[in-house]
Amino acid sequence: MMRALAAEFLKLKRSRMPLWSGLIVILAGGLGLAVLPVLSDPATQAQIAKGGGVFAKAVAAGAYGPTWENYLRIGLQGMSGSWGVLTFGFVTAYLFGREFREGTAKTMFTLPLRREYVMLAKMVVLAVWVLGLGALSVLVTMGTATALGVGGFTWTHVLTSLTDTVAVTAALYLTLPFVAWFAMLGKGYLPPMLYSLAVMMVSNGLVETPISHWVPWNIPLHLVGASWYPVPPSSLPPGSWVVAAAFFLAGLAALMWRADHADSAR
Amino acid sequence: MGEAAAPEVVIRTVGLTKHFKDVKAVESLDLTVHRGEIYAFLGRNGAGKTTTIRMMLALAKPTDGYAEILGQRMKPNALRAFERIGSMLENAGAYGNLTVRENLEMQRNLLGLRRDRWVDDVIEMCDLGEYLDRRASTLSLGNRQRLGLGRALLHKPEILILDEPTNGLDPVGIADMRALLKQLASERGITVFLSSHNLGEVQQIATRIGIIHKGRMLEEIGYDDLRHLNREYLAIGVSDTKRAVWVLEEKCGVRDFAVHEEGSVRIYSGFERAQEFNRVLIESGIGIISSHMSEENLEDHFVKLTGDDAEGETPSPGRRRGSRGWRR
């Protein structure tokens, strides 16, 4: 298992994907938060309120006020509700799909090494990667807030944000084995990327419905809320986590089964 | 004096079958490879060679039948067998962002091997020395094949399974590969199983040949046996094939002949009458373009077996499709 793990980390050497995924986080987080001062301008807020819709509700709730608390919360909400599902999905697609794109799957599966170990090693690398992106997101938020001279900094807010980031990242991670499964099934990048896009759209559409707490991709969003719907942060029923865990285990089982039984190489 | 022990069977497929919906890619294929052989698995493009190899390596699940290597039934996680098999499937993949050295090192680590002299030997054998610090993504197809072979050899396998190993190699590279495979078989006792549609290549190295066509094994034959099967013939290049056939049959009484391709007639017996055949043909107003003795080779045998009814490419360059004609 350790040999597989070391190999999986080595495969990322000089790879541009970690850089690209970091760039997405910086752009999505930084640019999104940079517009908050504009949104907090009374004249703009009045216009938004007049326009109605989800942003008007958020403005009415005071979600866009330029405070450290709001910045950290909205930064995290961006990850849980939009770019997280997509970016983490793309990272998963890369980790699992590249073996087929680069023609290395057949070598990987003819090694005297259990295929499950290879899959597990990839899942470990994925966990480290998405946690790193989560941490980067917090740093980007803090950097943007500092650059814009936002007031109200306390370490308590930062610590809370870090804890929430770990929870959101973990909740999103639980949805990723099925993305990996799609990469194995489709033998490449496109099917898992399309799947990630589709689930993001569908789950966002279900956010304000009663079943949203049971939709695995919406669990992170309910953890920290979403200012733009607005969905308040809620304490999720334990059943939500059971669903998420079951979804993770089912995805993992499907992934292992695929690696073990199906025609696995092109 | 006791009988010599039969050579150990190291690869065996029994009723190996693979269907993709309605397409019968491989049908009840039985083959055996003995230790120390260079076994060439010959077939046209689309004959089922790669699918068979994928099933042998547990990369594809057979619809029926099974493959056994070194006594172990091949299925995913047949780890004991994989420890003793090196393989390279067509278009050897490599991690493009890593250098050749890193690709090899990673494979070595994955195999749990210590760095020893053998790794350097492999680098030298595969002629990878000057590319060690180049990223795999910048390698030509031929050099990627070398890298693939290098990876396959890292753990000193007993069996080497190669799918179209000379794909993308230049003529010198092909000759080097041939020499290397011969050397591995003779000096290190490695059993080589290679698929190919290149008859010339196979003819020069194989000790045993399996011919697959439309997913079925048509014949397994030792190369020495094949040589005995090959017949001598008199090849006459003529200006009018139809008329030449009539003249040979009616005026010379020749029965054992074949139209090899338009403008070429092969006569398989009565060579002492060669001058007479030529004279009668000329007297009958048929131009003689060439006339010489020759021997059937693997290509002829292959075409004889597979015919021209298959879809796909011709077995080798220089032979037109649908031109085999008929044989009496």
B58 and A109: CB-CB below 8 Å?
A: yes
Contact B211, B217 (CB under 8 A): yes
Asked if B134 has any chain A CB less than 8 Å from its own CB, the reply is no
Q: Are B260 and B211 found together in one domain?
A: no
State mean pLDDT over B260-286.
86
Average pLDDT, chain A: 85
pLDDT of residue A198: 92
CATH of the domain at B184: 3.40.50.300
pLDDT of residue B311: 43
Q: Are B246 and B261 found together in one domain?
A: yes
Q: Is residue B307 part of a domain?
A: no
pLDDT of residue A135: 93
Higher pLDDT, A61 or A27: A27
Q: Are B85 and B137 found together in one domain?
A: yes
pLDDT of residue A221: 84
Which tokens in the block code for residue A47?
A: 């216009």
Strand pairing class (B23-34; B72-73) = unpaired
Q: Is residue B308 part of a domain?
A: no
pLDDT of residue B319: 33
Tell me the residues of chain B between 287 and 326 that have a Cβ less than 8 Å away from chain A: none
Q: Output Rg (C-alpha) for chain B, integer angstroms.
A: 23
The contacts of residue A49 (CB under 8 Å, 6+ apart) are A56, A59, A60
Q: Are B284 and B152 found together in one domain?
A: no
Q: Is residue B300 part of a domain?
A: no
A chain contacts of residue B82, beta-carbon cutoff 8 Å:
110-112
Specify the number of domains making up chain B.
2
For residue A65, is pLDDT > 90? Answer: no
State mean pLDDT over B177-198.
87
Q: How far is B66 from chain A (nearest CA, A)?
A: 14
Contact A74, A226 (CB under 8 A): no
Q: Are B239 and B223 found together in one domain?
A: no
State the Cα–Cα distance between residues B327 and B257, nearest whole angstrom: 6
Stretch (H or E) spanning B295: strand B288-295
Tell me the residue ranges of DSSP E strands in B102-230: 159-163, 191-196, 208-213, 216-222
- DSSP annotation of B292: E
Across B238-253, b (16+ Cβ under 10 Å) vs e yields beebeebbebbeeebe
Q: Is residue B215 part of a domain?
A: yes
Residue B209, Cβ density class (10 Å: 0-12 exposed, 13-18 middle, ≥19 buried): buried
pLDDT of residue B321: 30
Higher pLDDT, A233 or A82: A82
Q: Are B31 and B121 found together in one domain?
A: yes
Q: Is residue B140 part of a domain?
A: yes
pLDDT of residue B42: 87
pLDDT tens digits, one per residue of B34-50: 998 999 998 888 888 99
Contact A225, A77 (CB under 8 A): yes
pLDDT tens digits, one per residue of B99-142: 998 899 888 888 888 776 777 888 888 888 888 899 999 988 88
- Point out the residue among B57, B110, B151 whose CB comes nearest to the CB of A3: B110
Q: Are B132 and B212 found together in one domain?
A: yes
- DSSP annotation of A226: B
Stretch (H or E) spanning B299: helix B298-306
pLDDT of residue A87: 93
Stretch (H or E) spanning A135: helix A115-147
* Domain end marker among B177, B212, B227: B227
Q: Are B47 and B180 found together in one domain?
A: yes
Asked if B82 has any chain A CB less than 8 Å from its own CB, the reply is yes
For residue A57, is pLDDT > 70? Answer: no
State mean pLDDT over A90-109.
91
Higher pLDDT, B6 or B292: B292
Peptide bond into B165 cis (omega under 30): no
B77 and A114: CB-CB below 8 Å?
A: yes
CA neighbours within 13 Å on the CB side: how many for A180?
A: 30
Q: Which amino acid is at B12?
A: R
Which tokens in the block code for residue B320?
A: 């037109």
Contact B309, B284 (CB under 8 A): no
For residue B288, is pLDDT > 70? Answer: yes
Domain map (residue ranges) of chain A: 2-261
* pLDDT band, residue B233 (cuts 50/70/90): confident
Q: Are B119 and B83 found together in one domain?
A: yes
For residue A252, is pLDDT > 50? Answer: yes
- DSSP annotation of B36: T
Q: Which amino acid is at A45?
A: Q
Closest CA to A7 of A130, A126, A123, A121: A121
State the Cα–Cα distance between residues B291 and A162, nearest whole angstrom: 88
Q: Is residue B165 part of a domain?
A: yes
Strand pairing class (B208-213; B216-222) = antiparallel
pLDDT of residue A53: 66
Q: Which amino acid is at A117?
A: Y
A13 and B79: CB-CB below 8 Å?
A: no
Q: Are B182 and B271 found together in one domain?
A: no
pLDDT tens digits, one per residue of A189-199: 999 999 999 99
Q: Are B213 and B283 found together in one domain?
A: no
Q: Which amino acid is at A209?
A: T
State the Cα–Cα distance between residues A98 and A79, nearest whole angstrom: 25
Closest CA to B193 of B160, B220, B223: B160
Across the A/B interface, how many CB contacts are shorter than 8 Å? 88
For residue A128, is pLDDT > 90? Answer: yes
CATH of the domain at B283: 3.30.70.980
- Point out the residue among A7, A104, A263 whose CB comes nearest to the CB of B61: A263
Contact B60, B18 (CB under 8 A): yes
Q: Are B47 and B159 found together in one domain?
A: yes
State mean pLDDT over B218-229.
75
B83 and A112: CB-CB below 8 Å?
A: yes
pLDDT of residue A62: 63
State the Cα–Cα distance between residues B125 and B119, nearest whole angstrom: 10
Average pLDDT, chain B: 82
For residue A54, is pLDDT > 70? Answer: no
Higher pLDDT, B58 or A32: B58
Q: Is residue B122 part of a domain?
A: yes
pLDDT of residue A136: 94
pLDDT of residue B325: 31
pLDDT of residue A63: 62
- Point out the residue among A104, A115, A259 whose CB comes nearest to the CB of B95: A104
For residue B27, is pLDDT > 80? Answer: yes
* pLDDT band, residue B55 (cuts 50/70/90): very high
pLDDT tens digits, one per residue of A215-231: 889 888 888 777 666 66
State mean pLDDT over B204-228.
82
State mean pLDDT over B233-240.
89
The contacts of residue B67 (CB under 8 Å, 6+ apart) are B11, B12, B13, B14, B16, B55, B56, B73, B74
Beta bridge partners of B195: B41, B163
State the Cα–Cα distance between residues B261 and A124, nearest whole angstrom: 62
pTM of the predicted structure, to 2 decimals: 0.80
Supply the range of the domain harboring residue B106: 9-227
Q: How far is B50 from chain A (nearest CA, A)?
A: 10
Q: Is residue B327 part of a domain?
A: no
pLDDT of residue B1: 46
Helix, strand and coil content of chain B, in percent to the nearest 5, comes to: 35, 30, 35
State mean pLDDT over B297-321.
54
pLDDT of residue A60: 65
Contact B210, B38 (CB under 8 A): no
Higher pLDDT, A61 or B162: B162
Residue given tokens 């090196």 in the structure block: B86
Stretch (H or E) spanning A147: helix A115-147
